[in-house]
Structures are given as C-alpha cells and as structure tokens.
Structure 1
Amino acid sequence: MSSQAQRPPQSKACTSSVLSSSVDKRPHIGISTLHNRPSSTWGGIRYTFPWSTLEDFPECRLSHLYLCTTLREIAEFCDDYDEMQHEFFFDRDPLAFQAIFSFLAKGKLRVLHEVCNVALHNELLYWGIDIGQMEPCCLHRMMSSVEKVAEHQCKEDERRERRRVLRAPVMEGSIFHMLGEAMENPHSGLAGKVFAFLSVIMVVVTVVSLCISTMSDHQQGDATGECSQKCRSIFVVESVCVVWFSIEFLVRFLYAQSKLEFARGPFNIIDAVAILPYYVSLFLELRDESVQDIVAGAGKSTLDKLGLILRVMRALRILYVMRLARHSLGLQTLGLTIQRSMTDFGLLLLFMCVAVTLFSPLVHLAESELAPNAARSPQLSFSSIPASYWWSIISVTTVGYGDMVPRSIPGQLVALISILSGILILSFPSTSIFHTFYRTYTELKEEHKRLWKEERGAELATEAEESMKERETWPDNWPENDFLPGLDDPSFLFMKDITVLAQSKSHHPPLSPVTC
C-alpha cells in the first residue's frame, strides 16, 4: 500500500461509447483525489493498495467499485476512470482522504488539524465510512462542530422564514411598510431604534404604575368606591401605555403575511394575554349595571368572585415585562439557554424528585418514631410523610426556611445528609448549563455585531450611491481638484471603494437585517 503526490496520467472519461466495456480486476487499486478535474495543472495524490484491504469495509464506496463489472456502474461511484492505467479519479478533498486512507490501512480513524471537522464529516459520509469507527475523543470534537454548524444553519433558515412570513406584500417605501419594518427590526435604522427605546420606556412605566396601584392608599380608595386624583393619573398612564401596545400589536398583525404563524409566536401570545385584561376590566366597569344591582341580582359571593377575577386580570399586566426580551440580549440568552438545556433541567428535576422521595420518609421516621417526645410545634411537626415533603424540598434545594426543624439527633443527621446531597445534585448540571449560557451569549453577540455591520454597510452603500448620482450631474469641465481631496487621501480611497461596492450592488439593494 502506498501513496505518492504526483500528476496523474491523462484519464479517459466515462463516455457512452465505452459504457458497455468490461472492467479488468487487477490485484491493486489506483486512486487519485483532486480538488479540480484530472486535467488540473498541479495534479493530485495517488494511492495504490490491494483490493484485499477493503474486505473489512463492505459498505465503503471503494468496495462497491470492486463489485462493478461495467463502466456504467463505475461512473456511479467515481468521477472518472482511466481504463488503461486502471485508476479511479475522485474530485474530492485530498487532505480529508488522508484520514480515510489511514483508517483503511491501520484501522484508526482520527481527525486532522488541517481539515475542517464538518468537511471531514461530509467526506466520511461520501466514502461510506461508519462514523462510529472514529476514536471517541475525535468523534466528540467532530460531532460538536457538526451540531454547531447545523444549529447555526437552522437558525439562519428560521430567520429567513420568519422574515418572509412576517412581511406582508406591501409596497416598498410606503409608510405602512416602513412602520412594520421598524417594529419588526430594531436594526433597520433610526426609526427602529427610536421605536425600541419607546417600547422599553412604556414597559417600565406600566410596571411602575402597577406597583403604585397596590399601595395602601390606592387600595382604600378602591374599597370605598372613590377615585382620587392619584387613581385617575394612574388610569391615564395605564391607558396611554395600553393604547401604545395595542397599536403595536395591530400593526404587527397586519404586517404579518401568515396570520396563523403570527398567532403561534410566543411573544405575540404574551402580548395578547397582557393587553386583553385591560379591555375586559374596562368593559366590566363601564357596564350599565351598578354594583348595587349586581349584589341584588346575584348576591355577595358573585360580586366577590367578579372582583377577584378583575384583580387577577389586572395582575396579568406584569407580563409586559416579558416584552423586554424583544430588545434585551440578556433575556434572549436566558430564554435560549433554557430551551437548549431542557435535558439538563429534566435530569436535575429527576434527581430532586428522587432525593425528596428518599429523605421525606427518613425524616418522618427519625422524628416521629425514633424521637417521639422531642419538643416541637404541632403545626410544624413531621406527623406524616406528605407533611415532611415540604421540609425535604427546602433542605435538598439548600434554601432552609427554618419553619420546620428536626429536633432529634437522628433527624439532624438526616438533615445533614439531605443538605449535602442537595449540594451535589445542584452542582452536577450547573457546569453544562453555564457552558450553554456562555455559548448562547457569544453567538447572540456575534449575530448582533454582524447585523450592525450589515446595517452600517447598507448605510454607506446608500450614501455612496447618492454621491455617485450627484457626481453624474456635474459638468464635464468641473474643476474637481479644487474641491476634492487628493487621490492619495484615505477618505477618498475609502469612498472610492464604497462607490465601487454600490455600483456592484445597484441591481441588488441590500436587505435590512432582522433580529431573531
């Protein structure tokens, strides 16, 4: 078995005139891997080894070549075949084939530092090599790169699809189009940034007004049925914020091309749940029936239930805080981290359930059976296993409220073991979740930086186009040297490059980026 880097001989293409010819089975196989066609000036790398090398790899592409009897069959598994030299030519990466050649010769499949892990993965699929044959350390490194690239590509596809779905077929340059673009894309320009800033301010004002409405003096006014000046001011502020959110929600809905996809969006569902309570409570308060009529017709219990419903619906306004995730990189990172770490959280929940189920009967046995005379409050005693579940949850999570405390020596030993077990349980998935959070935060930062560069490039290209159009209107004998910088001036060279870029993209204007 040998390999040598040299220029391969001129090959014969597998044309239809020779497809019916038979193939001579020689004891050795010759392979040339090239980046380009066999007529490349720099040649390629030739590998020669006996057919018997492939006996342990029946699913390999080269093993299928051995079973071919006609040139037509060979053409399905290689790019070219030299019938005179009995050599097969493949238009593949020669560096990646070195790892495959080493695997066929020595039975060891490892990654190469010179080859991209994703490219090597694709080459293994092409040559029909089982990926599971790779060394565990190399396999983990390669699959991590493949999964990362696949996830990035999936995000890009989702971003393009979301942009296509959330764009209504409206006229480019119209007011409605610009308004919808500013709402959906904060990076679309100054309008998008201003809208994002106002949206954040409205959310903060809504949360502050909700907190003020729960103060004691405001609640006393609600109890007496009288509305003070502070109450009216809070109502006006709340109404302005809700009107802003309602207009934004309506514009997003009209701007969306697919209304069903818009209704399925998590942020849109949160917006609807946060906006509806205001209108429902306003409708109930503006009904013609007075409170006395409701009490007389339905009774006090119905009125209490109605008041409870109104208070719960008003409290749902706190969901406006979730709207900050549209404009906050940190909240987006938190959401993606939770989504990507669902397996780790599920494993953590399983560990917690097992620990709670284990320590609850133990502490009940230690406190009620082994030390029944220990002094304790009847309300906070370990009288049953279900009553001990609360203490076990608080102890395993290392919170320790102190409302239920074991008094006996056996109970305290159980408490010590449960606390130490809780520390170990919480530490197991923490490292994985932290790395997921860091990786997600880094990816989002790079994506935002890329969007900013695209936005800046689009602005510079637009300015260059306008400058180019303006210069086309100048007279031919315009004294440019009196008004323009020197040809070696850096600013002139920069604008020249931007002008060339604008000319090359004049038929394809840059699209505005979209925030995922």
Structure 2
Amino acid sequence: MALLNTPEIGRRHSLFSNPDRHTTDSSSLGVLRGPSLEDYDIDDPNEPSTLTLNIGGKIFKTYAQTLSKLRSVKIDEICSRARKSELFFDRNPEVFAAILDYCRYSELHLPRNVCVLVCRKELAFWGVNESLISDCCKKYLMDCTNEIQLQESLYAEFIRLRPKKACDAKNTRERIYNLLHHPETSTAAKVWAAFYYILVLVSVGSIFLSTVPQCRVPVSSEQLPPFYQSDHDHDNHSLSKRSLDDDPGGVPVVNVTHFTHPIFSAVYSSDYILQQMETNSKIRMMVTTKVVPALEFLDMVCMIYFTLEFIARVITVPSRLRMFMHFFTWCDLMYLIPVWILWIGQLIDPSFWRAPENITYFVFLEFLIVARVLALFRVANQYKALRILILSMKASLGEILLLLVFVMLAMIVYSSLIYCVEIFIVGSMDNMFEGLWWSIITMTTVGYGDMVPKSGMGYLVACICALTGIILIGMPVPIITSNFHKYYGFRNTREEVAQPSPSQETNVISPTRNEPD
C-alpha cells in the first residue's frame, strides 16, 4: 500500500506548515526530510478523503490538500472530481511523480529519463511554472534546451533545405534549380556540377598564370593610344619602350618622367598610375601587356559560361531577394560586371582602357576581376563539413569577440611598454603605432623580424608578450573544436535518422495519437 501524504490539520505538523521539515543540516547535506512515520495516523477519524489518479496507467493516491499547493485551476477541478471517482489522464507518469514530489517537499526535480520537451509540456499541462524548478535541475534543463536548439539549427541548415529529387520536381523551373544548386538530385546535376567545378579551377588558374610575365605578350599598337607609341621626334610628348629582353621583369618599361601631357596634370590618379609604371613592374606589365591568346580564350569561355549560369540561377531561384542577400551572389557579380565592362569597352575602342583618362578605371577593374577566386568558396559550400565549420564559428562568436577584445587590450599594453623601455634606443620603436604592429606580430608568434627590441628590458617585455599571445589565442580553440565535433555528430545523427535503411522502412509502424479525455 502506498504511503499517503499528510494534510495540514490541527494536532499533526504538516510538511507545508513547518518549512524546517524539509531543510538540510550539516549531518545530512543534500537529503530531503519528508514526513516521518509518526506523522501518519491511519486510524484518525478526521483523516480527509484521498484522491486516486490514474496517470498513464500508473495509480497515484494522495490528499487533495497536497495537490492544492499548486494553486492551479486544473488541479482544483481535479480535486473536486477525484473525490467521487478515479480519474484517468493519458499523461506521462514520471513527470507527474516529480510534480507530486514538489507538492510534498517544495522542490521540483526533473526526471532524467524523460526528454525536456516532454517535461515542459507536462509542466504546462499541470499548470506548473518552470521557475519552480530546483537549481540543480535548471542547468540540466538549459543544457538540454541548448542541444535541442542546436539540432533545430542543423535541421534548418541541412534537412529543411534538402532538395527534391528530379522526379519529384513539379515543373521545369524546379528541375533547373535543382540542376544548378543540388548536385545530388540527379545524374545530370552531378555532371553539371563537375563541369562547373572544373571551370572554376580553370578560371582561378588563369588568374594566377596571368600574373606570370612569360604568359603575357605586349599589346598591339592599335590597343595603345598614340602617346604610348615611340616617337623620337617628340620625346616630351611620347613614351619610350624597351624590348622585353632589356627589362629584367620581361615587360616593357615605360618612361614617363618627362611626360607633360595636359590630361595627366588634370587627373592626379592617372598621373600616379603612370608614375608607378616606371618604378613598379607589376603595374607596367598590367597596362602594357595582355595575356597570351590561349588564356584569353579560356577567360572568354569562363565569362560566357558563368554569365549564363548566373542568369539561369536568377530566373529559377525561388526567392531573388534572398539570393541577392547571399554573399556568394555578390562574389559572382564582382567578377562578371568588371569583366563585361572591360570587354565591351575594348570592343568599342581597342585603346579605350589604356587612354590616360581611363587607365585608373582599367587598373581598378582588373583588381575586381580577381574576385573570381571567391568562387572557390561557393564550390566548398557544397561540402557539408565546411558548412558545419561555419556554424561552429557562429556558435563560438562570443568567445571569438572576447578573444579580440583581450588581444586589443594586450596590444595597447605591450606597445606602451615596449616604447617606454626602448625610449633610449636609437632607431627602435619610434612611436607606439609601431609598437602595436610589433605586439600583434609577437603575440601571434609570427615574428617577421622587421622590428625587434634591442635592450634587456625590451627582451623581457617581448617574452611576456609572446607568452600572453600563446595563452590568449589558445583559449578559444578547444571551444571551437568542441562545437565543431558536436555539430558534426548531430548532423550525422540527423542524416542516419532521416534516411532509414530498406529493412527499417519495411518494418515501420505508423503511430496513432490518443487524445486525452
């Protein structure tokens, strides 16, 4: 026979009227003290009626006054009905047992063998506020809640965006969208993705080869404005060129020291670019040469392919607003817009971009074309491990920001210290801004060696600075690693559950839902 709880009646001391009954002392730390055997008098004629509740098939008997501590409208209704007959509730008996213990001991502890989502639903059903949960179980509740939120974020990232199979697509637009974005939907999508990846690698390789002098040839005379071409009769209005063999860099050298064209005096930026052409072989090579015809053909093929692919994505994407809010979309535009502007300008006038008034824009657009390498991130985005890493970094954003704050504070402190201890050393740390550069290089253990302390105190500050950097930078690494393994494990679990084996599919039993009376 179950032990019945005692009400608050005259001659017996109830648990709720005497709060000291459930407190702990130094000899029994952490042990709840409930009613003793002497508190129960079975033969007492004044004993109130008991309640009999059937919770999920498990019988609970208690006093109405015990449940009244919850002060819930539902509990009051239960007490009035249970005095007449046994009440059945198709609810979780484990959670109800914890609620009943709260009525007895004034402490609410969650059962660890029940999911926290079920616990929350049961607490809401019985009208119990979550703020009543004991401190020892609140951490468990928060940890489980965070894990559930973590799983939901992964669900939104991978499962919710899982593409449809090609045969399930409702129309041609969806088929083209799956073809462009989801290689796993069909064989054609895999072939398209493979071709796209190859062209991305080819285009990136073309960019690297375009910076090698051996892969460039001088531009034709029609692509150079008249003042670029050699004119020995007008030395001060022309630019002299040397052959590729005379220049160590393998590119023509343009002499603009005595160039007095009026346009250059009006446009400072163009004048600066032309001055750089005399001293900077990279700028000189960019302006006076072009890539070899083979690379030029590859660039043209990539330009046309990526343009058609981008237009197809714009047409078939479900939400264009969401597409243009994506980082990779702007990476594509940073490449496509400059390359088409350069091509159209050269088609109109072969010497258009090398004219003095346009040369600055030409160099700027050439810089933007390098954004083509960012397409590698879009390729890598197809790999779920990289997306897991990005989610891990987002989850660790607070720790990373805290690290940056500590590093900035350390930079300020050590730059001030190194400047003070090196104040009497000539040629060492001329200002604190140089100290900032030195401190970040030292803390990250890079150590370029361009700035080094030259005194004993400077060596001491450098040692402490390096040790501080090792400690600071090493702190968030385990957190990021832990988040990555946690996300990766949850993702694998989701995929295993979402894709049952054929043997499991044949043995699936459709559950039925029984609503409570």
Shorter-normalised TM range: 0.5 to 0.7
Structure 2 match to 1:12: none
Change (3 A) 1:447 1:85: closer
In structure 2, the CA distance between the partners of 1:314 and 1:82, relative to structure 1 (3 Å rule), is same
Q: 1:65-80, aligned counterparts within 5 Å?
A: 65=73, 74=77
Distance 1:332 1:92, change over 3 A: same
Deviations 1:252-298 (A, max 9, x none): 22112332222223333333333323212222332326259833xx3
What is aligned with 2:327?
266
TM-superposed CA distance for 1:33, in Å, is: 5.2
Q: What is the TM-score of this pair, normalised by structure 2?
A: 0.67
Letter in 2 for 1:273: M
Q: CA deviation at 1:216?
A: 2.0
Instruction: Give the aligned CA root-mean-square deviation in angstroms.
Output: 3.8
Deviations 1:12-53, CA, capped at 9 Å, x for gaps: xxxxxxxxxxxxxx9677362533xxxxxxx32314146367
Query: Which structure 1 segments of 5+ residues have no match?
Result: 5-25, 36-42, 56-61, 69-73, 458-493, 505-516
Aligned position for 2:345 = 284
Residue 338 (str. 1) matches residue 422 (str. 2) = no
Deviations 1:381-418 (A, max 9, x none): 21222221111111222322222111212222211222
Identity %: 25
> What is the rounded CA distance, in whole Å, between the counterparts of 2:98 and 2:333 in structure 1?
56
Moved more, 129-138 or 97-106: 129-138
For residues 212 and 285 of structure 1, the distance between their equivalents in structure 2, rounded to whole angstroms, comes to: 21
Q: CA deviation at 1:188?
A: 1.1
How far apart, in 2, do the equivalents of 1:419 and 1:33 lie?
A: 67
Which residue is 1:347 aligned to? 402
Residue 232 (structure 1) shift: 1.5
Higher helix share: 1
Deviation for aligned residue 1:156: 3.9
2:419 is equivalent to residue 364 of structure 1: yes
Paired letter, 2:215: H
Mind listing any 5+ residue stretches in structure 2 that lack a counterpart? Answer: 5-46, 220-250, 253-286, 511-517
State the alpha-carbon separation in 2 of the partners of residues 197 and 29 from structure 1.
73
Structure 1 residue 178 and structure 2 residue 239: aligned?
Answer: no
The one-letter code matched in structure 2 to 1:315 is V
Tell which deviates more after alignment, 125-134 or 413-422.
125-134
Deviation of 1:147 after TM superposition, in Å, equals 2.6
> Is the CA contact 1:33–1:92 (under 8 Å) kept in the aligned structure 2?
no
Partners in 1 of 2:154 and 2:475 — Cα distance? 29
Query: Aligned with 1:32: secondary structure?
Result: strand
Distance 1:333 1:424, change over 3 A: same
Judged with a 3 Å threshold, the aligned counterparts in structure 2 of structure 1 residues 189 and 405 are, in CA distance, closer, same or farther, namely same
Which residue does the alignment assign to 2:65? 51
> How many angstroms does 1:349 deviate by?
0.8
Whether the 8 Å contact between 1:81 and 1:87 is mirrored in structure 2 is no
CA distance in 1, matches of 2:333, 2:497: 32
Alignment-derived partner of residue 209 in structure 2? 212
Q: CA deviation at 1:329?
A: 2.5
Give the aligned partner of residue 32 of structure 1.
53
What is the match of residue 64 of structure 1?
Answer: 72
Q: Is 1:248 aligned with 2:316?
A: no
- In structure 2, what is the Cα distance between the partners aligned to 1:409 and 1:129? 67
Contact 2:180 2:313 in 1 (8 A): yes
Match of 2:361 in 1: 306
State the distance in 2 between where 1:184 and 1:391 align. Answer: 46
Distance, in Å, in 1 between the alignment partners of 2:495 and 2:340 is 36
Give matches, 1:319-468, under 5 Å.
319-368=374-423, 372=424, 374=425, 378=427, 381-447=428-494, 453=499
Q: Partner of 2:197 in structure 1? A: 200
Q: Cα 1:173–1:127, aligned 2, differ >3 Å: closer, same or farther? A: closer
Asked if the contact 2:443/2:465 (under 8 Å) is kept, the reply is yes
Query: 1: CA distance between counterparts of 2:151 and 2:305?
Result: 35
Match of 2:92 in 1: 93
Query: What code does the residue aligned with 1:366 have?
Result: V
| 2-structure distance, mates of 1:279, 1:382 | 48
CA distance in 1, matches of 2:90, 2:194: 54
Provide the rounded CA distance (Å) in 1 between the counterparts of 2:449 and 2:54.
72
Q: Distance in 1 between matches of 2:130 and 2:194?
A: 50
Q: Retained in 2: the 8 A contact 1:121–1:146? A: no
**Count of paired positions:** 401
Measured in 2, the distance between the counterparts of 1:292 and 1:396 equals 45
Does the C-alpha gap of structure 1 residues 274 and 330 become closer, same or farther in structure 2, counting only changes over 3 Å? Answer: farther
Distance (whole Å) between structure 2 residues aligned to residue 131 and residue 341 of structure 1: 28
Shift, 1:350, TM fit: 1.2
Matches of 1:259 and 1:234, distance apart in 2: 33
1:128-139 paired onto structure 2 within 5 Å: 128-134=127-133, 136=135, 138-139=137-138
Between the aligned partners of 1:263 and 1:354, the Cα distance in structure 2 is: 38
Distance 1:172 1:137, change over 3 A: same
Tell me the distance in 1 between the aligned counterparts of 2:63 and 2:147. Answer: 36
- Secondary structure of residue in 1 paired with 2:447: coil
Partner of 1:512 in structure 2?
none
In the aligned structure 2, how far is the partner of 1:154 from the partner of 1:27?
Answer: 52
Higher Rg: 2
Higher relative contact order (CA 8 A, sep 6+): 1
Find the aligned partners of 2:211 and 2:293 in 1 and give their Cα distance.
14
Q: Which position in structure 2 is the counterpart of 1:482?
A: none
1:117 deviation in Å? 2.9
**1:241–1:160 distance in 2 versus 1, CA, 3 Å:** same
Report what 2:148 is aligned to: 149
Give the conservation status (yes or no) of the 8 Å contact 1:256–1:262.
Answer: yes
Under a length normalisation based on structure 1, what TM-score does the superposition of the two structures give?
0.67
How far has the Cα of 1:123 moved from its partner? 2.7
Deviation string, structure 1 residues 444-496 (Cα, Å, up to 9, x no partner)? 44455667x48x97xxxxxxxxxxxxxxxxxxxxxxxxxxxxxxxxxxxx8xx
